[in-house]
């Protein structure tokens, strides 16, 4: 690469947080008009690097050169004005404003000193959107859009501010496959226009599909920067995790025992219709289906978060009516929610206290939590799942995204439930840690736990399930046993025979 083409250059950049060296002498360059991927395990330092670029953090030492000059941003707004935008998973849009208003929020076109030029705003929005994705209406309210379309609005907003670098931190985590193709089409168009994209993902296949170059971070250091054409998947994974990953899906058949959960004719008006199935001890049952088919809603209804209109839930043969999650927890059920940040964790509390939360009763005598017991349990969870934190007393908000996720898992495992409801258990988790979670699932299975696993990742469903329930429009469209488990069999049920 010609040195002069570098739009961005890290030179011995380090970032230290109390007790953590998040980035250590990072050096690499990003070429203008390319898609540059950033990969690495949970806690490797990817998001920290991005936050330096966007003015959220300042490096502790070293330099960052942007268009040949030292980058000094006091706050994210200065980064925006300089042409660097990050699109995070928690999108930053105003739901009650229109698409056009969101695009120009903060830099509305004006006719006079105080008069907004609404016509110009709408016209420019229409131009940007027709370039990106003709399906998005500039007059629609943002809250009426799905996650993928909201991303398009964020990208339009970035372009309206003349972004030179657009950073995407795990942009495909919450969008369906079809929309990923649209996103990739947009990314390629942006690259054509000379925009530089920094792309962070735990999906290695995406990295090879979309990126020109890839930088691998491990423990805050750059392991290597390579052209994606000059490296293959196993080699990249090896650079990321520092060892060979032999089996991505370590499935064990196991020996299913007695029925532990039975759902009979469960309905929730307008959402779930006549759902019946059962779950046996020692088995993993996958739940597949398109986005919006009712998978998450099914877990929520079983767990007592949403009321049901009719039907029954039996635990170990006895009919139970859960009015709130508390009742379900009492009955030995644990739910790992999809939205971990909002419903899975108390971000301001420590790792240890989060792990202790659901087990308060179990670990307390007359209401007083036994400190030593809590310390022991959380230490066990930390080593079991390799949670990266300088201390168990660290606030969860300071952990990397993937490590926060492991804390959610840890808090439930600590309580030793017998029935697990998993909603996207490995979302945001790196390739190495995924295998750890699958191994853990196998161990739970061996100990007689039953697992109902909702996942949008078909390979994970195919790789780890003993059988699969496929949902469509709030109903169970069919069940596929392990012997007949193929991608085609699942997709056919999920889309009702038509082609996608
Ligand atoms: N504000 C903070 N205070 C203290 N430590 C932090 C802070 N932000 C990040 N860290 C630590 O810095 C390290 C790098 O975290 P970072 O979020 O950059 O990882 P990541 O590569 O984005 O991981 P993931 O794939 O899980 O999102 C982690 O050990 C994390 O705990
Ligand atoms: Mg991150």
How far, in Å, is the centroid of ligand 2 from the Cα of 452? 27
**pLDDT reading at 365 higher than 70:** no
How far, in Å, is the centroid of ligand 2 from the Cα of 258? 41
Q: Report the nearest-CA residue for atom 8 of ligand 1.
A: 398
User: Pick the residue with more confidence: 179 or 222?
Assistant: 222
Cα 215–chain centre separation: 20
Residue 27 and residue 136 in one domain: yes
User: Pick the residue with more confidence: 114 or 251?
Assistant: 251
How far, in Å, is the centroid of ligand 1 from the Cα of 332? 33
From 13, 15, 16, 17, give the residue whose CB has the most ligand 1 atoms within 8 Å, as the site to mutate.
Answer: 17
**pLDDT reading at 4 higher than 80:** no
**pLDDT reading at 367 higher than 70:** no
- For residue 398, how many other CB atoms are within 10 A of its CB? 18
**pLDDT band with cut points at 50, 70 and 90 for residue 500:** very low
Region for residue 99 given its phi and psi (left: phi exceeds 0; alpha: psi -120 to 50; beta: otherwise): alpha
For the CA of 397, the nearest ligand: 1
Residue 427 and residue 392 in one domain: no
Q: Report the nearest-CA residue for atom 18 of ligand 1.
A: 45
Region for residue 106 given its phi and psi (left: phi exceeds 0; alpha: psi -120 to 50; beta: otherwise): left
For the CA of 391, the nearest ligand: 1
How far, in Å, is the centroid of ligand 2 from the Cα of 47? 4
pLDDT at 30: 98
Task: Give me the count of residues in the chain.
Answer: 500
Specify the 3-state DSSP secondary structure of 246: coil
Residue 229 and residue 377 in one domain: no
pLDDT at 108: 85
Atom in ligand 1 nearest the alpha carbon of residue 45: 18
For the CA of 428, the nearest ligand: 1
Q: Of 323, 330, 340, 332, whose CA–CA distance to 426 is shortest?
A: 340
* Across 156-177, average pLDDT: 87
**pLDDT reading at 1 higher than 80:** no
From 45, 219, 345, 437, give the residue whose CB has the most ligand 1 atoms within 8 Å, as the site to mutate.
Answer: 45
pLDDT at 261: 97
Atom in ligand 1 nearest the alpha carbon of residue 49: 18
Average pLDDT over all residues of the chain: 89
**pLDDT reading at 140 higher than 80:** yes
**Three-class HEC string of 248-262:** CCCCCCCCCCCEEEE
CA distance 183 to 479: 32
For the CA of 405, the nearest ligand: 1
For the CA of 399, the nearest ligand: 1
- Helix (H) / strand (E) element for 319: namely strand 318-320
Torsion 151-156-161-162 (CA) sign: positive
415: tokens are 């309580």
Residue 127 and residue 204 in one domain: yes
Q: Report the nearest-CA residue for atom 5 of ligand 1.
A: 398
Q: Of 328, 307, 359, 336, whose CA–CA distance to 261 is shortest?
A: 328
Q: How many domains does the chain have?
A: 3
27 contact partners, CB below 8 Å, separation of at least 6: 10, 11, 12, 13, 222
DSSP characters over 211-223:
-SEEEEEETTEEE
Residue 325 and residue 452 in one domain: yes
What CATH number is associated with residue 279?
3.40.50.300
**pLDDT reading at 499 higher than 50:** no
59: tokens are 């490096």
125-149 burial string, b = 16+ CB within 10 Å, else e? Answer: bbebbeebbeebbbeeebeebebbb
Identify whether 342 is part of a domain: no
pLDDT at 359: 67
Identify whether 356 is part of a domain: yes
How far, in Å, is the centroid of ligand 2 from the Cα of 170? 8
Residue 402 and residue 458 in one domain: no
Torsion 330-336-341-345 (CA) sign: positive
Cross-strand bridge partners of residue 364? 369
**pLDDT band with cut points at 50, 70 and 90 for residue 356:** confident
CA distance 41 to 400: 10
Identify whether 337 is part of a domain: no
How far, in Å, is the centroid of ligand 1 from the Cα of 284? 32
**pLDDT band with cut points at 50, 70 and 90 for residue 343:** low
Q: Which of 122-136, 289-303, 347-361, 392-406 has the lowest mean pLDDT?
A: 347-361
How far, in Å, is the centroid of ligand 1 from the Cα of 156? 28
Contact 153, 147 (CB under 8 A): no
Residue 367 and residue 490 in one domain: no
Contact 142, 98 (CB under 8 A): yes
Q: Which of 269-283, 321-335, 403-417, 431-445 has the lowest mean pLDDT?
A: 403-417
Q: Report the nearest-CA residue for atom 17 of ligand 1.
A: 400
User: Pick the residue with more confidence: 89 or 239?
Assistant: 239
CA atoms within 13 A on the CB side of 496: 8
234 contact partners, CB below 8 Å, separation of at least 6: 244, 245
Q: Which domain holds residue 99?
A: 3-241
pLDDT at 362: 62
150 contact partners, CB below 8 Å, separation of at least 6: 91, 93, 142
- pLDDT digit string (tens) for 445-460? 999 999 999 998 899 9
Identify whether 341 is part of a domain: no
Angle value at C-alpha 265, between 261 and 259, nearest 5 degrees = 20
How far, in Å, is the centroid of ligand 1 from the Cα of 45? 6
- For residue 241, how many other CB atoms are within 10 A of its CB? 18
From 199, 201, 241, 400, give the residue whose CB has the most ligand 1 atoms within 8 Å, as the site to mutate.
Answer: 400
Residue 14 and residue 138 in one domain: yes
**pLDDT band with cut points at 50, 70 and 90 for residue 340:** low
Q: Of 391, 415, 439, which residue is a domain's last?
A: 415
Identify whether 94 is part of a domain: yes
For the CA of 88, the nearest ligand: 2
Q: Of 398, 415, 432, which residue is a domain's last?
A: 415
Identify whether 423 is part of a domain: yes
Q: Parallel, antiparallel, or unpaired: how do β-strands 318-320 and 310-315 relate? A: antiparallel
Identify whether 424 is part of a domain: yes
How far, in Å, is the centroid of ligand 1 from the Cα of 491? 37
pLDDT at 485: 95
Identify whether 451 is part of a domain: yes
Residue 165 and residue 181 in one domain: yes
Q: Report the nearest-CA residue for atom 1 of ligand 1.
A: 398
With a Cβ cut-off of 6 Å, ligand 1 is lined by: 17, 20, 22, 40, 42-48, 388, 398-403, 430
Q: Of 71, 67, 58, whose CA–CA distance to 14 is shortest?
A: 58
- pLDDT digit string (tens) for 195-242? 999 999 999 999 999 999 999 999 999 999 999 999 999 999 999 988
Share of the chain above pLDDT 70, in %: 94
In degrees and rounded to multiples of 5, residue 217 shows phi and psi of -105, 140
Residue 410 and residue 421 in one domain: no
Residue 391 and residue 431 in one domain: no
Residue 175 and residue 73 in one domain: yes
Q: Of 224, 241, 258, which residue is a domain's last?
A: 241
How far, in Å, is the centroid of ligand 1 from the Cα of 400? 4
């Amino acid at each position: 690469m010609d040195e002069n083409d570098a739009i961005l250059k890290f030179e011995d950049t380090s970032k230290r947080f109390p007790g953590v060296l998040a980035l250590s002498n990072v050096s690499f360059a990003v070429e203008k008009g390319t898609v540059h991927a950033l990969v690495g395990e949970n806690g490797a330092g990817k998001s920290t690097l991005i936050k330096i670029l966007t003015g959220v953090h300042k490096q502790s030492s070293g330099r960052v050169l942007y268009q040949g000059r030292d980058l000094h941003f006091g706050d994210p707004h200065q980064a925006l004005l300089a042409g660097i935008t990050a699109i995070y998973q928690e999108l930053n849009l105003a739901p009650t404003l229109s698409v056009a208003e969101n695009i120009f929020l903060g830099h509305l076109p004006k006719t006079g000193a105080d008069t907004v030029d609404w016509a110009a705003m709408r016209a420019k929005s229409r131009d940007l959107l027709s370039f990106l994705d003709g399906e998005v209406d500039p007059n629609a309210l943002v809250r009426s859009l799905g996650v993928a379309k909201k991303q398009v609005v964020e990208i339009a907003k970035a372009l309206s501010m003349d972004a030179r670098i657009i950073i995407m931190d795990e942009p495909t985590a919450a969008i369906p496959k079809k929309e990923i193709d649209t996103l990739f089409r947009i990314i390629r168009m942006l690259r054509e226009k000379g925009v530089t994209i920094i792309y962070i993902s735990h999906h290695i296949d995406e990295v090879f599909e979309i990126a020109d170059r890839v930088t691998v971070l491990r423990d805050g250091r750059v392991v290597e920067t390579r052209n994606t054409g000059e490296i293959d998947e196993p080699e990249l994974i090896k650079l990321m995790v520092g060892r060979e990953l032999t089996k991505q899906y370590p499935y064990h058949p196991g020996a299913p025992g007695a029925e532990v959960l039975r759902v009979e004719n469960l309905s929730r008006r307008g959402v779930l219709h006549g759902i019946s199935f059962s779950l046996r001890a020692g088995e993993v049952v996958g739940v597949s289906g398109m986005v919006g088919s009712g998978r998450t809603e099914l877990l929520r209804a079983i767990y007592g978060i949403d009321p049901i209109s009719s039907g029954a839930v039996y635990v170990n043969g006895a009919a139970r009516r859960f009015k709130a999650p508390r009742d379900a927890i009492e009955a030995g059920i644990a739910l790992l929610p999809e939205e971990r940040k909002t419903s899975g964790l108390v971000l301001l509390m420590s790792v240890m206290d989060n792990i202790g939360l659901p087990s308060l009763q179990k670990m307390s005598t007359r209401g007083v939590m036994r400190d030593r017991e809590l310390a022991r349990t959380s230490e066990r969870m930390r080593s079991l799942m390799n949670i990266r934190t300088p201390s168990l007393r660290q606030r969860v908000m300071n952990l990397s995204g993937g490590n926060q996720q492991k804390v959610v898992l840890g808090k439930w495992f600590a309580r030793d439930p017998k029935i697990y409801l998993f909603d996207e258990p490995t979302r945001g988790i790196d390739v190495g840690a995924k295998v750890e979670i699958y191994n853990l699932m196998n161990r739970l299975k061996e100990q007689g736990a039953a697992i109902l696993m909702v996942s949008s990742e078909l390979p994970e469903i195919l790789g780890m399930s003993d059988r699969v329930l496929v949902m469509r429009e709030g109903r169970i469209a069919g069940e596929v046993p392990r012997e007949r488990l193929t991608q085609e069999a699942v997709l056919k049920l999920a889309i009702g025979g038509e082609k996608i």
